[in-house]
Structure 1
Amino acid sequence: MSDRAVPRALVTLLVAAAAVITLAGIKAIDAIAGPVVLALVLTIAVSPIRSWLARRRAPAWVVVAVPFTIVMVLLLGMVATLIAAVAELAVLIPGYTEQFRKLVADAQAWAAAHGVAPQVNKALQSLDPGKILEFAQGLLSGVLGVVSSVFLIVVLLLAMSLDAPIISRVMAAASAERPALTRALTTFASKTRRYILVSTIFGLICAALDVVALYLLRVPLPLLWGVLALITNYIPNIGFVVGLVPPALLALLTGGIRGLVLVVVAYMVINVVVQSFIQPKFLGDAVGLTTTATFLSLIIWATVLGPLGALLAIPLTLLVRALLIDSDPGAKWSGALVSGEIPRD
């Protein structure tokens, strides 16, 4: 008697259940999983430098130390900039309490003049000057939370940097027995590097232009918002909106409605033009994900790993695709659903 095929609906339910259990497990150890993925992505990002040094027969310690040092300088420099700027913000914002009260009073007066006072007053009841200080303290706590993981990230980076040459040799040896898996992981590393490179270049361009615009508009702490714009550039789809909110709020406090509008317009012109029209032409097929898959990956990984998951949404999704889809020759149509590319026979 022949074995009956497992119903496709049952397979789908089992896969969905396994995905939920796996994501729940990752969420339970997010304090470890996030730094591990970040260290992995940073190690992959500098692997061309490691390969370049190895081809020129540099000493083994140089092959490890140079990429590690580059990553550490960039990572610690960005963290130090954020700490200094956010600490200054926490001191600066309480001084805008009077401006906040004036904005509330102006809003109430406008609402009364236009006959919508009850609705506006109800919305304003939840606002108070203390919210401004809470915002600064919350932002500072968030940055300090990232700093608390820096030690773990540094240790992981060092360990992965030491193991990178060994992993490269293992991958080369495994290519004969596991060609599909090796090819999938190699493609993942290549796409991740290209995504990080292009996103970093255009993130720096946007950040520099944002800093200039904020400086000309006299918004306090333009350097902080520039660094924030660079970081949020790695968040797909909604990154620039996240980076816009704090400087827009500060522009409202310092320059009123006019200042708010000018900052929003400046950000939209700079970020929408660069990220929506110019960057995709250079990024090309580096991601290999549909718009829907990208947006869903942002939601899922931000829920599982928090802010770090939002920053690493694309590399994490590329890794999952490499392990579950690209490494399986029979899953080419599943890959087409997330990439939008019809497979060729």
Structure 2
Amino acid sequence: MAKPIITFSALKAVIMMGMLVIILVGIKVAADMIVPFILALFIAIILNPMIRRLEGIRVPRVLAITLVISVIIFVVVVLLAYLGTTMNDLTRTLPHYRSSLISPMQTLEPWLQRVGISVSVDELVKYIDPNSAVALVTGLITQLSNAMTSIFLLLLTVVFMLLEVPQLPVKLQQLLSRPAEGMVAIQRALDSVSQYLVLKTAISLVTGLVVWVMLAMLDVRFAFVWALLAFSLNYIPNIGSVLAAIPPVAQVLVFSGLYEALLVVAGYLAINLVFGNIIEPRMMGRGLGLSTLVVFLSLIFWGWLLGPVGMLLSVPLTIAVKIALEQSDGGKRIAVLLSDVTKS
């Protein structure tokens, strides 16, 4: 009797891979619905320790949630109002950047010709269209005006999630086949993700404030916008701080000159050195239990699957997936590949 060409284990693996592909495609198609839920979930995880502290001083949970969400709404409204004003100012400034670009480009032209690169400044200027930049910023202002509805629905979802937290352990114990082991794994995932998000949020906030002070001292226009960008992109591992530095450096290079731009670059390098290489590793401990390669690949994967929010939350999402994989015999092998062996 001939041996079967495909063994049962191989067939099972193929079926599981097919199911995984179908699930990922479904998530990507439904990303517009899934992303707000995931974002609300992680915001609730960040806020829950604060709610518990207020409960510890005998503040009722409903009142604690109301106070925290009210403060967040006030801060968001103020930020959006200030950001909208700044964007309007930026829109009025953009048409002047075409003439400002000519001088630094003429300075660079002889240097490029010395190394054998033939560049015509007059030809390059023809491709610079300020109208497209103005249209981009105008679109951003329109999105800001429409953002309040989305933010309100997002915070409303967070409120209901926070109200549901006390009942979750009982529901999960009834849902899980092995309640004791499952609850330990869920608590471990929540603790890891919560610790990462709370510390990362605190570090990102301080980073944004330091960037704001640094740019204000260097008299860089729109310092608040670039500080807010530094705060947001600091959640993205490895490349976030680099991406946050590009717009202000380009702005200073165009409007102020090479020397001022080098000062801004030096300021960003100093901030990233202190916060990224000294403060953050000490506060978060010896790594995240994930290899450096996995952190970078997770940035690409979650960014492809969920867009910009996936990039911002790539590390906590990967931590949760790794802990979930550790609960099954087959998943433990994959979890080992994701882990940082120097930590174990």
**After TM superposition, is the score higher than 0.5?**
yes
* Aligned counterpart, 2:339: 339
Counterpart contact for 2:235–2:312, Cα < 8 Å: yes
Equivalent residue letter for 2:338: V
- Cα RMSD (Å) of the superposition? 3.3
What is the aligned partner in structure 2 of residue 231 from structure 1?
232
Q: After superposing the two structures, state which structure 1 stretch, 156-165 or 175-184, moved more.
A: 175-184
Distance 1:132 1:107 in 2: 23
- Residues in 2 aligned to 1:36 and 1:69: alpha-carbon distance in whole angstroms: 20
Listed one character per residue, the Cα deviations across residues 155-189 of structure 1 (whole Å, up to 9, x for unaligned) are: 31222123222224434666894233222221221
SS in 2 for 1:117: coil
| Aligned pairs for 1:141-156 within 5 A | 149-156=150-157
Q: Is the 8 A contact 2:51 2:61 kept in 1?
A: no
Shift of 1:154: 2.3
Return the alpha-carbon distance in structure 1 between the equivalents of residues 292 and 228 of structure 2.
26
Tell me how many residue pairs correspond in the alignment.
340
> Is 1:194–1:286's contact at 8 Å kept on the other side of the alignment?
no
Distance 1:60-1:283 versus aligned 2 partners, 3 A rule:
closer
Q: Which residue identity is paired with 2:192?
A: K
Aligned counterparts of 2:146 and 2:21: Cα–Cα separation in 1: 27
CA 1:102–1:281 in 2, change beyond 3 Å: closer, same or farther? same
Structure 1 residue 204: Cα displacement = 2.5
Q: Within 2, Cα distance between the matches of 1:204 and 1:142?
A: 23
Identity among equivalent positions (%) equals 26
Whichever residue aligns with residue 107 of structure 2, its letter is D
Determine the C-alpha separation between the residues in 2 that align with 1:73 and 1:170.
Answer: 34
Q: CA deviation at 1:99?
A: 0.2
Query: 2: distance between equivalents of 1:210 and 1:227?
Result: 9
Instruction: Tell me how far 1:296 sits from its aligned partner.
Output: 1.2
Query: Which residue pairs with 1:6 in the alignment?
Result: 8
Q: Which residue matches 2:247?
A: 246
Contact 1:206 1:270 in 2 (8 A): yes
Conservation of the 8 A alpha-carbon contact between 1:93 and 1:136: no
CA distance in 2, matches of 1:110, 1:118: 10
Contact 1:39 1:156 in 2 (8 A): yes
Distance 1:108 1:25 in 2: 51
Q: Secondary structure at the match of 1:253?
A: helix
Asked whether the equivalents of residues 93 and 132 of structure 1 are also in contact (C-alpha less than 8 Å), the reply is yes
C-alpha contact (below 8 Å) 2:95/2:134 kept by paired residues? yes
* Superposed displacement of residue 37, structure 1: 0.7
| Structure showing greater relative contact order (alpha-carbon pairs closer than 8 Å, 6 or more residues apart) | 1
For residues 262-305 of structure 1, the C-alpha deviation after alignment (integer angstroms, 9 at most, x for no partner) is: 21221112113311233112112573221111111111111122
Contact preservation (8 Å) 1:219, 1:254: no
User: Given that residues 286 and 343 in structure 2 are in contact (C-alpha distance below 8 angstroms), is that contact kept between their aligned partners in structure 1?
Assistant: no
- The amino acid that maps onto 1:268 is L
Corresponding residue for residue 191 of structure 1: 192
Provide structure 2 residue ranges, at least 5 long, that are not aligned to the other structure.
none
Q: Distance in 2 between matches of 1:46 and 1:122?
A: 54
Match of 1:298 in 2: 299
Closer, same or farther in 2 for the Cα pair 1:18/1:102, shift >3 Å?
farther
Q: TM-score, normalised by structure 1?
A: 0.83
TM-score by length of 2: 0.84
Report the CA distance between 1:76 and its aligned residue. 4.7
**Residues 184 and 327, structure 1, Cα contact 8 Å, conserved in 2:** yes
- Unmatched segments (≥5 aa) in structure 1: none
Aligned-residue offset at 1:39:
0.5
- Name the residue aligned to 1:88: 89
State the partner residue of 2:44: 43
